[in-house]
Amino acid sequence: MESIFKPATRENIKLKIGFSGPSGSGKTYSALLLARGIVGTEGKIALVDTEHTSSLLYSHLTNFDAAMMNPPYLVSKYVKSIENAVENKYDILIFDTISAEWNGEGGLLEQKQELDERGGNQFANWKNLTVDHQKFLAAILNAPIHLICCMRSKQDYVLSNEGGKMKPIKVGLAPVQREGIEYEFSMLFDVDMNHRVQISKARTHLFDGKLFTVTEEAGKALINWANGKEKEV
């Protein structure tokens, strides 16, 4: 019988990357620079904006095409956005943000609340919504293009000693998405309020132990890794 197996190699992987951080931490800025590094100067970048046109503030950073997604933030809209980006031959798609799919207006949590208010078993009401969320994740993971997903993070304040004075600093905690979302990505960047990132989950050791500001060079390193040409940054 002819073997169905062949040597395992890493080549032409479509990256699935997450950015998680508080409002104002620089997720969109970082995502656009990373995207440009990944696809190069000739690559086509698409961005879906759920944040009321805020992405347009960064149009000076690089060329990209934007589409505004308005409420309700349905899974079907996200899936169609991916299909449209693929059909129109974009090299990478940025979702800014996927938090809206979970807890935005018309998102899954709001749909769950509406079902509960109508009555019935509150646990059973999750059934169809969970199926919907799995379709959302499958569309991201199976997309034949690179994808960057920005997520707001829950916010808190910690006291930091600066020059002998205690100052409250805003920090991000878990992403605003369904629990476990971080496991779906090739890499998850946590962004702090100084616009620096560190890796909270990765399938590469490129950025281990580093706290840095994202540049196009980070994107170039990632695409080299995805194509089997790993290089330190």
pLDDT digits (tens, 9 = 90+) for 104-118: 999 999 999 999 998
Which pLDDT belongs to residue 80? 98
More confident residue, 224 or 170: 224
User: Among candidates 135, 133, 146, which has minimal Cα distance to 89?
Assistant: 146
Residue 81 confidence (pLDDT): 98
The more confident residue out of 58 and 161 is 58
CB atoms within 10 A of CB 180: 8
218 has pLDDT over 90: yes
**Residue reference for tokens 């989950």:** 201
Question: Is the pLDDT at 210 greater than 70, yes or no?
Answer: yes
Give the span between the Cα atoms of 72 and 132, in whole angstroms.
14
- Give pLDDT, residue 33: 97
So what's the pLDDT on residue 13? 86
Q: What is the pTM of this model?
A: 0.88
pLDDT tens profile 126-174: 999 999 999 999 999 999 999 999 999 876 555 566 666 666 665 556 8
**What pLDDT does residue 191 have?**
93
In angstroms, the CA 150 to CA 140 distance is 13
Query: Domain map of the chain by residue range?
Result: 16-226
Residue 86 CA: distances (Å) to CA of 41, 48, 80, 110, 187: 19, 13, 10, 29, 22
Task: Decide which of 8 and 97 is more confident.
Answer: 97
Over range 185-192, report the average pLDDT.
92
Q: Domain 16-226's class? A: alpha beta
pLDDT (tens digit per residue) in 7-42: 877 777 899 999 999 888 999 999 999 999 999 999
pLDDT, residue 215, reads 95
Mean pLDDT of the chain: 90
Q: Say what the pLDDT of residue 224 is.
A: 92
Measure Cα distances from 213 to 89, 128, 149 in Å. 29, 40, 18
